[in-house]
A and B are shown apart, each in its own frame.
Chain A
Amino acid sequence: DTGVSQDPRHKITKRGQNVTFRCDPISEHNRLYWYRQTLGQGPEFLTYFQNEAQLEKSRLLSDRFSAERPKGSFSTLEIQRTEQGDSAMYLCASSSTGTGFSPLHFGNGTRLTVT
């Protein structure tokens, strides 16, 4: 299965620590998205890449958050000085370009717990 892969699946960290998550999209997809989902809510858009270019960042992304996609392949999402409010599921999705509308293919997410 060559679906979207996220690592780690779970991360528990203490407040104030830095964490980094990784996403490997479907290989032929050049669009990559990060979403955050809290319990009982739908995913909230965080940021979007087309190839290596980060084209949009949500206001939800404070300056403690940074995302990269070097070489347009895998992506990382780093949270510095974590806070308890950062506890959530972080979802990565990818899609292809082309005509029409491509559905998003999601990974199984990284669940972050900040204690």
Chain B
Amino acid sequence: SQQGEEDPQALSIQEGENATMNCSYKTSINNLQWYRQNSGRGLVHLILIRSNEREKHSGRLRVTLDTSKKSSSLLITASRAADTASYFCATDAVSGGYNKLIFGAGTRLAVHP
């Protein structure tokens, strides 16, 4: 079963606009990560936010985390056509001393030139 749910399922914007994707999860976490997947490829790690952090930045990415609402958002500013991909949040379910990531169903982002 999947822990997280992303919203929206699909997002279509023009280049230069900002894209916001949301993720909700069900259980307590140690950290939340965002990954990107281009069509037919593997996932690439974007950013990690720990449960005691509220906001984190990396380049054009901004991630927020609200543990009281069990939700996170990923903002991509000044989007580019190359940002077109699926974006997944993943929660870290610590089990037996290792990190097992549980992924949501993803948001498919299309950025039009």
- A interface residues (Cβ-Cβ under 8 A, vs B): 4, 31, 33, 35, 40-45, 48, 50, 55-56, 91, 93, 95, 101-109, 111
Residue B28 interfacial (CB < 8 Å): no
Q: Determine which of B42, B95, B100 lies in contact with A91 in the assembled complex, contact meaning CB atoms within 8 Å.
A: B42
Asked if A44 contacts B2 (CB within 8 A), the reply is: yes
- Which chain B residues numbered 9 to 55 have a C-beta less than 8 Å away from chain A? 30-31, 33, 35, 40-45, 48, 50
Q: Determine which of B45, B90, B105 lies in contact with A40 in the assembled complex, contact meaning CB atoms within 8 Å.
A: B105
- B interface residues (Cβ-Cβ under 8 A, vs A): 2, 4, 30-31, 33, 35, 40-45, 48, 50, 88, 90, 92, 95-96, 98-106
Kindly report which residue of chain B lies nearest to residue A103, judged by CB atoms.
B45
Interface of B is mostly: strand
A107-B42 contact, Cβ under 8 Å, with A42-B2, A95-B99, A101-B92: yes
Asked if A56 contacts B41 (CB within 8 A), the reply is: no
Asked if A4 contacts B42 (CB within 8 A), the reply is: yes
Q: Determine which of A48, A103, A109, A111 lies in contact with B100 in the assembled complex, contact meaning CB atoms within 8 Å.
A: A48
